[in-house]
């Protein structure tokens, strides 16, 4: 009898998933405790920056909990969250690049975080529980 958990996943897969859970927990907490830190990332076209920052913090905490417990919904929800916040990361990279007051390390960090979204999405899908008798859609 199987537990529904992924079979044969190496420890690196578990650590990738748990590492992302830790990142989401830290970032989600920071969104709630210091929302002002995230204001520069918000594109001007979006309304209610404070509400969106708090909502994304809650979403990160929920994703962290789901990843930590290895629930089936956590991987796609976490990937969707990373995709949803990607435009804000692009906006921040462009804004810091055009701001003469931005330090070179901040500009570099803003641009370097963009390709890092790919391994974060990968980490979300590591050690994911499998539905009994069903293969993932990309393996059919």
Tell me the DSSP string of 89-107. HHHHHHHHHH-TTS-HHHH
- Quick: pLDDT tens for 93-128: 999 999 999 999 999 999 999 999 999 999 888 877
Neighbours of 16 (CB within 10 A): 21
pLDDT band of residue 129 (cuts 50, 70, 90) is confident
Q: Which two tokens stand for residue 23?
A: 């990142």
Torsion angle (degrees, nearest 10) of CA 17, 88, 46, 102: 140
Taking the C-alpha atoms of residue 93 and residue 87, their distance in angstroms, rounded to an integer, is 10
- pTM of the predicted structure, to 2 decimals: 0.80
Would you state the pLDDT for residue 1? 39
Q: What is the pLDDT of residue 12?
A: 83
pLDDT, residue 138, reads 52
Listed as own residue / partner, the contacts of 7-11 with beta carbons closer than 8 Å and 24 or more positions apart are 7/130, 9/126, 9/127
15-59 pLDDT, tens digit per residue, is 889 999 999 999 999 999 999 999 988 998 989 999 999 999 999
What confidence score (pLDDT) does residue 140 get?
A: 44
């Amino acid at each position: 009898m199987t537990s529904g958990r992924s079979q044969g996943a190496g420890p690196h897969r578990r650590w990738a998933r748990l590492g992302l859970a830790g990142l989401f927990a830290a970032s989600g907490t920071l969104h709630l405790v210091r929302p002002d830190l995230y204001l520069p990332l918000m594109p001007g076209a979006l309304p209610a920056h404070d509400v969106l920052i708090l909502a994304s913090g809650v979403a990160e905490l929920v994703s962290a909990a789901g990843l930590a417990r290895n629930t089936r919904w956590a991987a796609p929800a976490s990937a969707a969250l990373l995709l949803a916040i990607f435009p804000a990361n692009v906006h921040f990279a462009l804004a810091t690049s055009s701001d003469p007051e931005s330090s070179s390390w901040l500009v570099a960090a803003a641009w370097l975080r963009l390709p890092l979204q790919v391994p974060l999405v990968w980490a979300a899908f590591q050690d994911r529980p499998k539905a009994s008798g069903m293969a993932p859609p990309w393996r059919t």
